[in-house]
A and B are shown apart, each in its own frame.
Chain A
């Protein structure tokens, strides 16, 4: 038996700060450095471990018993730090606390619900694309498609009022910045923290939710005592934190991917049933959710290294989704690839419970576009946004030609 090396000194240390502005605009150098240096590295800047290897990330995600989320899925370690808001439920809950809220969400967002919504959402997507084309086809795809569509259909389905939809994005930006350090980005979005948190909390209250929506169904589960009345608003909140920004940016990335890969767009138009695969390939390729942290529950071995109890591990989903040990020509966006098994939605017990919702949103929008738009091309250079956790666009000027 080999002796295990122990603690941070035993793994290569990397001197780069993942949250430095230059790495947030383009994470490639950081992700590559972590992934190619060793299966597990130590980041001196934040005293956390990090991995960008597909198999190591996958192992951590699959092993929910030893790698937990209850200490937060961001950089802050709730074993020693006080969270800025009540921990997300079920996202930041381990079994047993995780089970009941997760089950309720799985039921609410289940296949039958989606089948019921598909037609409405397809009609909404058709209408949106018609409207955009009627306006001449020159759009900021970030605002006019990638944001506009999810911000219409998903909050409608949750049962939220029609106003202030853009503030949902502002809240998401805040939440995902807050998974990082208290840097300038966090401070920037935190300027609205009190106001937005208060507003979100009020949206999650039973009396403010449409009785036909997901939110009301979550509350109904608390009437059945499947979850507690204290959990219900937090479970509703998880839809608003986790269900909007990731989808918006996922859709932005697939639009960007097609605009910059016209031959793939032609293939989609010829075979619109490829939309599903295309979206997952975009999620693999761009990994809108870049980073998730898990925490060791007890001393545990990972990649041949003995880690102590309550140590944070930064899982670089974007690096794993480009790990050449798993993916051939990983930097290439192509519909030839089977992206199955990518880690963009996570994996295992905590895998994104809304992944099928996100897929359907993307699928109906792509279908609507593929039916009507012959050419999809950049109209001006797009501008990257920055977020501590997400890979985002700020603007995405596209020209759509019928």
Chain B
């Protein structure tokens, strides 16, 4: 199996929140990531779900995600809660980061509920960089808020605002006056982020960085067999689940230069002339992914039944 992760542990970390630890099925080192990054997990139900990495990047062999059970009709998170077991193997894409952490003198973190996940590694990083930081962590009730123990052990900079105790947090009061040396990172439900944006209206525009929960769902998410057509020779190759496009090309004697073979370095990029790639790499940004005119053949696959490559 290429581009897959094995579930090595699952653990309830709050009401309705399940932490899942993932590793390479062969025990290899996983592609590196930075705080704010997420994974695309391909669930057997045919859904792709994005989960922020919330573990320790100094452990190069494990990823950790935390999944909130959401009643959203499509059932991605419910499937993970109800059916995902240790030993299961899931295809994945990424890690990719749309919410990177930039250097700052001080950090202010605003988390709502499961929005704490991308912020956890950022807080680790602030601690490691010896930068002052504060966290405002809102949630419905304490038992629904993941990682509270760990956060509160970090010191007095954490303000926990459980709604059943204190109501909706006053973000503006917590942020205080515009601080030219601070950067604000927010992740959580729209209401909280809107309040944060409003509270930052007088701050410099670069000060606020947020990630909104997105439900990016692709129509076709499973690893299905597809055909790769090579433009120059007209050769047609069948790529089965469990083999990469790169493997298929190699078997057919078509050499593509590679380096990392993990979708992180960009060496194996090939132009796509027809068909839609299913991007699993960490290299291409949103614009290039959308354009769909190139792919990293070491990890990426097809969303259509066939792909024509400029080879």
Question: A residues within 8 Å of B by Cβ?
Answer: 62-65, 95-97, 99-100, 103, 107, 110-112, 223-228, 231, 276-277, 280, 338-341, 345, 347-349, 351, 355-356
Contact = CB atoms under 8 A, between A and B. Distances in A.
Nearest to A115: B294
B183 A348 contact: no
B267 interface: yes
A97 B261 CA distance: 26
Contacts of A64: 32, 60
B100 A340 contact: no
A65 B266 contact: no
A111 B32 contact: no
Please give me the 8 A-B residue pairs with the lowest Cβ-Cβ distance, nearest first. Answer: A225-B206, A340-B258, A96-B125, A99-B34, A65-B58, A226-B102, A228-B103, A96-B129
Contacts of A340: 257-259, 267
A199 B194 CA distance: 48
Interface in B30-49: 32, 34-35
Contacts of A356: 266-267
B260 interface: yes
Contact of A276 (B57, B128, B257): B257
A348 B32 contact: yes
A223 B34 CA distance: 22
A227 B34 contact: no
B100 A112 contact: no
B211 interface: no
B288 interface: yes
Contacts of A112: 287-288
5 contacts: A99-B35, A99-B101, A225-B102, A225-B183, A340-B257
B260 A347 contact: yes
Contacts of A276: 257
Contacts of A107: 285
Interface in B175-212: 183, 206-207
Contacts of B261: 341
Contacts of A225: 102, 104, 183, 206-207
B154 interface: no
B265 interface: yes
A216 to B, nearest CB: 18
A341 B103 contact: no
A227 B102 contact: yes
Contacts of A347: 259-260
A299 to B, nearest CB: 15
B255 interface: yes
- Which of A95, A280, A356 has the most CB atoms of chain B within a 10 A radius of its CB? A95
Nearest to A62: B29
B284 interface: yes
Interface residues of B, number: 36
A400 to B, nearest CB: 26
Contacts of B247: none
- Which of A227, A231, A345, A351 has the most CB atoms of chain B within a 10 A radius of its CB? A351
Given A63-B29, A355-B267, 8 more contacts: A95-B57, A96-B101, A99-B101, A338-B255, A340-B259, A340-B267, A347-B259, A351-B259
Contacts of B16: none
- Which of B100, B102, B104 has the most CB atoms of chain A within a 10 A radius of its CB? B102
B103 A100 contact: yes
- Which of B34, B101, B128, B257 has the most CB atoms of chain A within a 10 A radius of its CB? B257
Nearest to B183: A225
A273 to B, nearest CB: 9
A103 B259 contact: no
Nearest to B283: A111
A103 B103 contact: no
B269 interface: yes
Contacts of A227: 102-103
Contacts of B257: 276-277, 280, 338-340
A298 to B, nearest CB: 11
Contact of B285 (A97, A110, A226): A110
Interface string B76-104: 00000000000000000000010011111
B41 to A, nearest CB: 23
Contact of A341 (B100, B183, B258): B258
B231 to A, nearest CB: 12
Contacts of B101: 96, 99-100
B291 to A, nearest CB: 9
Contact of B34 (A103, A277, A351, A355): A103
Contacts of B29: 62-63
B265 to A, nearest CB: 6
B259 A345 contact: yes
Nearest to A65: B58
Given A65-B60, A99-B34, A348-B32, A277 B255 contact: yes
Interface string B279-295: 00001110110000010
A110 B171 CA distance: 38
Contact of A111 (B57, B58, B59, B294): B294
A99 B60 CA distance: 16
A113 B301 CA distance: 24
A231 B128 CA distance: 19
Nearest to B293: A115
Interface in B50-89: 57-60
Contacts of B285: 107, 110
Given A228-B103, A231-B103, A341 B259 contact: yes
Contacts of B57: 65, 95
A24 B58 CA distance: 37
